[in-house]
Structure 1
């Protein structure tokens, strides 16, 4: 019962003293054991055990607090530890782990204490668990709200993205693929000429013109670890700390892709200098491709936008010209049931009246037209329905532009 009393008394202590109190008590209870303590998120023993890399057995003489949550995405239950003690069997060794959680400030603190027969075993086990957790295996790491998480849904959507079903103007699609393929295969060349093996690429263009699809197709094609940053802000963490966390993890995972979605919203006056220091500072960023996107290049500081050593290459995603619109319309038309399908020549007619439409608006044109056609079952195919929807969507585009202009006016 000593461990259970230790947990209870520890949780009743001042939050600033809990970890010290527990460490002191454990050192007294197990003077011959080597003790490691900390709160590194990478020491995920439970996940390590789920992978079959060690075995854990909870201490039966105490109450182990295991909480249950609900994953609404996959419609399943999951468990996680709050306060518990368990024995670990690993590579012929026996170790013990105590983990506790308490409210510190405005968020939960989760600590662990690892006890082993000697320093070598303790540190080797600790390092193996952290190394396993840090490896990116058939998954995408997403940074948001100050934390890294593994996003299975994003990973699956990326598996379905390819350049085969991507339409871009000119040689843009080929140029981007060649750029990244050449970079990742040229480490030795960079080193032999004394050139830092790193790259910065910026995708620029209005929403709906293929930037996100291209990013996903690149991740799928390159087959290197990918870290995806959605936000550098968090309720309780300093933005500088979050930027450092992002770049530290990228350096650990290199060679890798570091995706910065909507760069103009990630970097602001408060964190710009720190962001630039992580790109240009003493850390080499070897093997990292920083791939950023923006809908609003005018909002990005020129110090970031116009210096080649930060973003060596910029690719512009323009509105589709008539040739791309014809190709895109034909692609969608081929997927329609025969009763809905456009006749020969109608795709060209539709492409001519959709000047100024992005790929996203062309997609919406097909979706809204299909729904309207299914409600009315109009005779004569889809063309008349789609022409009517072009007018509706063009009006919506005008309203969207006006709203954007008004939102940028000073109060």
Structure 2
């Protein structure tokens, strides 16, 4: 049923001057859209959806998508372009998400983020226009699919900031083959088998055995032993969106809602929550509620990582449906250390006897520390030769001990720090 508004523009400006300024901009936008579509347009509101769609618009602009067109700007003295840096092209300019009217020719839909200035403050408000409801709904469905396809081209990073959730996409430039993931064979088989059943076979295993189509695993252990490498390998081996969510001190119920609202629309997909124990106390209740809501929907493969499992809220792992399995990523044993060091090519610098001694000498070191051992050996070989592996490893162990104890103030060691 059509409703008649109580107050019409420009009626009684003195009653609400702020509305007059607001309505002037919207009226101008509607007029130019009427010329484009040769018909009146309807104005819609969907705050949650629009925030997500503007992220997709940014991606489309960066990729020079011809489906999107800038037909006008709103204000003359508000910027219409944004400069950003890319590793491939240095600097590029794309239309600003603020103050430009974006028109989608296929659907006859337009979006604009208008800057609003009132009461000595400024903010932006999002508007969407379409000729009818059907066009609007088809547009939203297509934009979700566009966003999903875009997200499969890399890893989407969500970071909680003062200004809300900031997202960007990182291309997977260095694919991590599964063979390069250093884990216990049984654990590695178990994790990748569940990944394959979840994504590569369209969840047929879950349907066949009447298992809810969702999965949650927790990766825990000391830093530097391959949790991130495992996640990168998973992300690169599935043709599904991967979202990497970085929790910060700015994480709130609002950012939690935004993240989970996005990922549930992208299913089937992978959601990685890094350093899950760092969730602020004031946001934990909202997080647990959102987590239950997300995992109750099909298609979410949830991966949590932590270096400090003892700090995790027990409610997170003591309730079925949040995390199904917890895997400890341990310090590499003799077999894994040898495998890693041989993959690095230490045979170029060391004979077999010295290499075996090094494998035993490095017991208790992480994968990251083994990489530092390799770097030090390569540098010493390049500049000095012969190589003193005992001194290299002992110095690394001493540095590790002092880091853990925060014990730096000794005359015989401070000159080695270099900073």
On whether the aligned pair clears a TM of 0.5, the verdict is yes
Aligned to 1:147: 165
TM-score (norm 2): 0.77
Aligned to 1:328: 340
Q: Select the residue among 361, 367, 371 that pairs with 1:353.
A: 361
Q: Gapped runs of 5+ residues in structure 2?
A: 1-9, 408-419
User: 204-213 or 300-309: which moved more?
Assistant: 300-309
Q: Gapped runs of 5+ residues in structure 1?
A: 1-5, 405-411
User: 55-64 or 300-309: which moved more?
Assistant: 55-64
- Matching of residue 171 in structure 1 with residue 186 in structure 2: yes
- Matching of residue 368 in structure 1 with residue 376 in structure 2: yes
SS in 2 for 1:182: helix
Q: Select the residue among 215, 223, 231 that pairs with 1:215.
A: 231
Matches within 5 A, 1:32-47: 33-36=40-43, 40-41=50-51, 42-43=53-54, 45=57
- Matching of residue 77 in structure 1 with residue 92 in structure 2: yes
In structure 2, distance between residues paired with 1:313 and 1:355:
28
Aligned to 2:4: none
- Matching of residue 273 in structure 1 with residue 285 in structure 2: yes
Q: Measured at CA, do residues 343 and 47 of structure 1 come closer, stay the same or move farther in structure 2, by a change above 3 Å?
A: closer
Aligned to 1:250: 263
- Matching of residue 100 in structure 1 with residue 114 in structure 2: yes
Q: Measured at CA, do residues 59 and 142 of structure 1 come closer, stay the same or move farther in structure 2, by a change above 3 Å?
A: closer
In structure 2, distance between residues paired with 1:170 and 1:83:
51
Give the C-alpha shift of residue 359 in structure 1: 0.8
**Contact 2:68/2:102, CA 8 A, preserved across alignment:** no
Superposed CA offset, 1:148-207 (max 9, x none)? 52322xx324x4212222222342222211122223337344345543211110001100
**Contact 1:228/1:258, CA 8 A, preserved across alignment:** yes
Aligned to 2:322: 310
In structure 1, distance between residues paired with 2:141 and 2:122:
24
In structure 1, distance between residues paired with 2:152 and 2:232:
17
Q: Select the residue among 390, 393, 406 that pairs with 1:390.
A: 393
SS in 1 for 2:237: helix
Superposed CA offset, 1:234-266 (max 9, x none)? 3xxx7111111111111101111100011111x
In structure 2, distance between residues paired with 1:233 and 1:60:
36
Matches within 5 A, 1:187-202: 187-191=203-207, 194-202=210-218
In structure 1, distance between residues paired with 2:280 and 2:29:
46
Give the C-alpha shift of residue 79 in structure 1: 2.8
In structure 1, distance between residues paired with 2:370 and 2:134:
62
SS in 2 for 1:271: helix
Q: Measured at CA, do residues 300 and 58 of structure 1 come closer, stay the same or move farther in structure 2, by a change above 3 Å?
A: same
Aligned to 1:407: none
**Contact 1:59/1:87, CA 8 A, preserved across alignment:** no
In structure 2, distance between residues paired with 1:87 and 1:259:
32
Q: How many residues align?
A: 376
**Contact 2:214/2:300, CA 8 A, preserved across alignment:** yes
Give the C-alpha shift of residue 57 in structure 1: 4.3
Q: Measured at CA, do residues 18 and 78 of structure 1 come closer, stay the same or move farther in structure 2, by a change above 3 Å?
A: same
Give the C-alpha shift of residue 351 in structure 1: 0.9
Q: Select the residue among 344, 354, 367 that pairs with 2:352.
A: 344
